[in-house]
């Protein structure tokens, strides 16, 4: 906990420094570290424009679902679950496209891997660089193509950020109970332990997440699998104190993500084929 | 390490004191891949930049006229390839073709050879030579250097045709990867290389090259030398069956690995004469091993170290050769038709063309038929193996005839056939 607290504090310092550096007027926009993430900063451009273009429409869409589904069901808890389902359904083609791009990258990397290992075992320095470059050339590949997987991420980023922004400021759920959760606007504190109340939902969410990772992990290399397990545990710490409404949303999101993974794994395994060197 | 950095980067990207985003497993993995890719790309670009830009140019005085459009350029890395080019140059000279001979060694015998139509120039070695070759303008460039367009020598836009000529009676299977992929044509000794190149082209989908079987030019030079030379018996006072130990250099080489045990065994047997002829590179690359062997097994009445440039004398005296996978095996076989014992298991395929071929190349397969292929466990029995091989050497003639078709056709015609091919390219 000490380590995570130290990391958390460091992150805050960097975030604040970033804010001073990246924003002209600290009060003009709400703090939005994702602008720092994507590194878009052009002096003189009002960053609100980016917010309005990339995130606000998605927040509007979420609001539309939440209020519509609440008026239909009369429960904010059920509205959160159904909104999560709706957003996931809308996102399926985007996820599929991004996944295919990444799979293509993985396929060609896997195909070149034995030769790259061979060259690494016998060549050094410049000679190794030249042989690997030629291997890339013969497979019609360039290391820059690895950015293809970044494209998929850029498509998804606005959804992540907008979802978070919307749910963390959605005042309608403050003080609203759902099933065993006392207040959707606050951490659940469901497990009493000595003088503390431990939050249950973050562990439920992480459990689902790890299970989903296990299914998705069948497609990945060992190193990639370790990465996603680390991320799952990492966000347990990070989101531990979040409002239970948000955790309910992400838990549902991860359940739907699990089913999505099951289908994707099957589909991708069906369509996997061995590419050959490109015509030169 | 990179992965740990990536996880922390994600943390800083997505986590603030009042704003959190969240990643599901798929997206998290995608983000990590993207970050790792970004870092890899930056490292790759930096490497390319450093390797491409940080180059040392040779002396300006060594530069030939790079604005001139040459007809035929022959590039040699040095004197060791002089016998490869000599028959071709003699033939082109006789036909009155204009040729420029570039060499990377000032002691190349080609620089002092008397020609009428052939100009000669030292262009420096390493980066200085690469600079000249990469800016050249010529109708055709002929060279033994492999790896065009892969290693430092790139295809110059001013050169219309690049032709590689092989410099061993073995096959290109022992060349490093991608050696011939970007040449327009290759002059080879026999059918084995022709088939091997076609197989690699099919596998890599590189454009088909013109592959012309011309024979082995340097073997023709040795044949002529042998016919006119005087190699009378004068190495040993007493005539006994003579063993030539002639390995390649490096830590996979025979002398490096088993030199001590083999020399111990053979030098103690006074029924044989032994010539030890290490690869010249061994005295640089594994000097301490050579020094140790030289002091443990000095010249004696039945053992001689041979460090002469010309290998013919040693080969002429030997009744049998012990080697590993050195090109000299085939020279000895085709010139003298005598048996060769080989330590074949030491051949390292990784990083070579042989790694991408379905079968073993004919030159490697041949080793089983021109004498026994040995392993470390055979060393104690070496004397009796040598005796058996010497008594059955009459069967070799048929094997050699068959191998000639695969590895070195048209003895005595290689210069004429090579020149014919070069002129046919020029006509096009």
pLDDT digits (tens, 9 = 90+) for B30-46: 566 667 777 777 877 77
The residues spanned by each domain of chain B are 2-47, 62-216+412-427, 232-407
- Asked whether the predicted pLDDT for residue B177 surpasses 90, the reply is yes
- B34/A147 touch (CB, cutoff 8 Å), yes or no: yes
- B11/A33 touch (CB, cutoff 8 Å), yes or no: no
The edge-to-edge listing of strands for the beta sheet with B242-245 is: B303-305, B273-276, B242-245, B320-323, B340-342
- A143/B40 touch (CB, cutoff 8 Å), yes or no: yes
Which chain A residues are within 8 Å of B14, Cβ to Cβ? 33-34, 37, 160
Q: Are B356 and B325 in contact (CB under 8 A)?
A: no
What span, in angstroms and rounded, lies between the C-alpha atoms of B124 and B56?
12
Per-residue model confidence (pLDDT) at position A152: 58
CA distance B178 to chain A (A): 8
Mean pLDDT across B362-378: 87
Total beta-carbon pairs less than 8 A apart between chain A and chain B: 188
Of A118, A143, A146, the CB nearest to B351: A118
- B177/A238 touch (CB, cutoff 8 Å), yes or no: no
Q: What is the CATH number of domain B62-216+412-427?
A: 3.40.50.11720
Task: Band the pLDDT of B249: cuts 50, 70, 90.
Answer: confident
- Asked whether the predicted pLDDT for residue B411 surpasses 50, the reply is yes
Task: Band the pLDDT of B127: cuts 50, 70, 90.
Answer: confident
Identify the closest residue of chain A to B182 by CA–CA distance: A280
Which chain B residues are within 8 Å of A127, Cβ to Cβ? 151
Q: Are A226 and B28 in contact (CB under 8 A)?
A: no
Of B25, B34, B48, the CB nearest to A150: B34
* CA A8 distance to own-chain centroid: 19
Range name among B56-60, B91-95, B155-159 with the lowest pLDDT average: B56-60
- Asked whether the predicted pLDDT for residue B135 surpasses 50, the reply is yes
Identify the burial level of B410 via C-beta atoms within 10 angstroms of its C-beta, where 0-12 means exposed, 13-18 middle and 19 or more buried. Answer: middle
Bridge partners of A70, per DSSP, are none
> In this structure, how many other beta carbons lie within 10 angstroms of the beta carbon of residue A273?
7
- A102/B22 touch (CB, cutoff 8 Å), yes or no: no
* CA A278 distance to own-chain centroid: 33
pLDDT digits (tens, 9 = 90+) for A21-58: 444 344 434 444 444 444 334 333 445 666 777 788 88
Per-residue model confidence (pLDDT) at position A150: 62
pLDDT digits (tens, 9 = 90+) for A57-90: 888 888 899 899 999 998 889 999 999 899 888 8
- B41/A147 touch (CB, cutoff 8 Å), yes or no: yes
Q: Would you give the end-to-end CA distance of chain A in angstroms?
A: 55
- Asked whether the predicted pLDDT for residue B197 surpasses 60, the reply is yes
Of B16, B31, B152, the CB nearest to A33: B16
Of B8, B19, B34, the CB nearest to A149: B34
Of A37, A122, A277, the CB nearest to B205: A277
Per-residue model confidence (pLDDT) at position A236: 82
Range name among B158-167, B213-222, B294-303, B383-392 with the lowest pLDDT average: B383-392
What span, in angstroms and rounded, lies between the C-alpha atoms of A4 and B116?
82
Q: Which residues, in sequence order, are CB contacts of B209 under 8 Å at separation 6+? A: B180, B183, B184, B185, B186, B197, B201
Which chain B residues are within 8 Å of A32, Cβ to Cβ? 19
- B19/A253 touch (CB, cutoff 8 Å), yes or no: no
The residues spanned by each domain of chain A are 1-46, 47-186+198-271
Task: Band the pLDDT of A205: cuts 50, 70, 90.
Answer: confident
**Is-same-fold flag (B62-216+412-427; B232-407)?**
yes
CA distance B138 to chain A (A): 24
Which chain B residues are within 8 Å of A217, Cβ to Cβ? 25
Identify the closest residue of chain A to B8 by CA–CA distance: A7
CA distance A34 to chain B (A): 7
**DSSP state at residue B79:** G
CA distance A2 to chain B (A): 16
CA distances from B183 to B147, B177, B201 (A): 9, 14, 12
- Asked whether the predicted pLDDT for residue B245 surpasses 70, the reply is yes
Mutation target for A interface from B17, B18, B24: give the one with most A CBs within 10 A.
Answer: B24
- B351/A131 touch (CB, cutoff 8 Å), yes or no: yes
Note the CATH architecture for domain B232-407: 3-Layer(aba) Sandwich (3.40)
Mean pLDDT of chain B: 86
Provide ipTM, 2 decimals: 0.78
Of B11, B16, B37, the CB nearest to A31: B16
């Amino acid at each position: 906990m000490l380590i995570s607290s130290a990391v958390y504090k460091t992150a805050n310092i960097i975030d604040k420094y970033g804010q001073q550096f990246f924003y002209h007027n600290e009060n003009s926009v709400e703090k939005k570290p994702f602008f720092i993430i994507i590194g878009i900063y052009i002096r003189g451009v009002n960053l609100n424009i980016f917010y309005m273009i990339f995130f606000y429409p998605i927040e509007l869409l979420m609001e539309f679902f939440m209020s519509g589904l609440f008026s239909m069901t009369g429960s904010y808890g059920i509205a959160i679950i159904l909104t999560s389902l709706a957003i996931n359904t809308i996102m399926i083609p985007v996820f599929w496209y991004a996944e295919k791009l990444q799979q293509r990258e993985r396929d060609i990397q896997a195909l070149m891997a034995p030769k790259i290992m061979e060259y690494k075992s016998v060549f050094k320095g410049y000679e190794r660089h030249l042989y690997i470059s030629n291997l890339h050339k013969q497979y019609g590949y360039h290391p820059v193509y690895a950015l293809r997987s970044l494209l998929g991420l850029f498509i998804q980023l606005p959804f992540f950020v907008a979802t978070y922004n919307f749910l963390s400021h959605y005042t309608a759920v403050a003080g609203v109970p759902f099933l065993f959760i006392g207040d959707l606007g606050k951490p659940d504190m469901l497990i009493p332990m000595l003088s503390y109340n431990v939050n249950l939902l973050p562990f439920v969410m992480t459990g689902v997440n790890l299970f989903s990772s296990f299914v998705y992990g069948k497609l990945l290399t060992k190193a990639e699998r370790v990465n996603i397990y680390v991320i799952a545990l990492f966000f347990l710490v990070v989101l531990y104190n979040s409002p239970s409404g948000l955790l309910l949303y992400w838990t549902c999101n991860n359940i739907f993500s699990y089913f999505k993974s099951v289908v994707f794994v099957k589909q991708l395994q069906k369509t996997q084929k061995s590419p050959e060197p490109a015509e030169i | 390490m990179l992965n740990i950095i990536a996880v922390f980067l994600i943390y800083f990207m997505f986590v603030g004191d009042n704003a959190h985003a969240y990643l599901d497993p798929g997206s998290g993995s995608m983000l990590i891949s993207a970050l790792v890719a970004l870092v890899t790309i930056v490292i790759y670009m930096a490497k390319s930049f450093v390797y491409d830009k940080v180059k040392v140019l040779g002396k300006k005085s060594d530069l030939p006229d790079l604005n001139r459009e040459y007809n035929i350029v022959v590039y040699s890395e040095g004197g060791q390839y002089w016998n490869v080019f000599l028959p071709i140059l003699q033939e082109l000279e006789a036909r009155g073709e204009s040729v420029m001979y570039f060499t990377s060694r000032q002691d190349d015998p080609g620089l002092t050879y008397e020609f009428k139509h052939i100009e000669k120039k030292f262009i420096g070695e390493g980066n200085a030579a690469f600079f000249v070759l990469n800016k050249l303008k010529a109708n055709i460039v002929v060279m033994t250097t492999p790896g065009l367009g892969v290693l430092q020598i790139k295809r110059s836009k001013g050169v219309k045709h690049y032709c590689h000529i092989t410099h061993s009676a073995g096959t290109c299977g022992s060349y490093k990867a991608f050696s011939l992929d970007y040449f327009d044509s290759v002059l080879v000794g026999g059918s084995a290389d022709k088939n091997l190149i076609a197989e690699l082209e099919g596998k890599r989908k590189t454009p088909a090259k013109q592959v012309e079987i011309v024979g082995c030019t340097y073997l023709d030079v040795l044949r002529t030398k042998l016919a006119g030379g005087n190699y009378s018996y004068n190495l040993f006072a007493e005539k006994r069956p003579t063993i030539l130990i002639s390995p390649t250099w490096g830590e996979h080489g025979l002398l490096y690995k088993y030199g001590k045990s083999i020399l111990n065994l053979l030098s103690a047997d006074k029924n044989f004469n032994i010539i030890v002829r290490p690869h010249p590179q061994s005295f640089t690359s594994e000097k301490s091993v050579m020094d140790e062997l030289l002091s443990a097994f000095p010249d004696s009445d039945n053992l001689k170290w041979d460090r002469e440039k010309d290998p013919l004398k040693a080969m002429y005296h030997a009744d049998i050769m012990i080697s590993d996978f050195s090109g000299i095996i085939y020279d000895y076989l085709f010139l003298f038709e005598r048996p060769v014992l080989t330590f074949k298991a030491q051949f390292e395929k990784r990083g070579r063309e042989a790694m991408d071929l379905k079968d073993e190349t004919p030159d490697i397969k041949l080793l089983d038929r021109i004498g026994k292929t040995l392993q470390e466990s055979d060393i104690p029995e070496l004397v009796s193996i040598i005796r058996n091989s010497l008594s059955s050497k009459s069967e070799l003639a048929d094997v050699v005839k068959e191998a000639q078709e695969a590895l070195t056709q048209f003895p005595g015609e290689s210069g004429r056939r090579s020149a014919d091919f070069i002129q046919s390219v020029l006509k096009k």
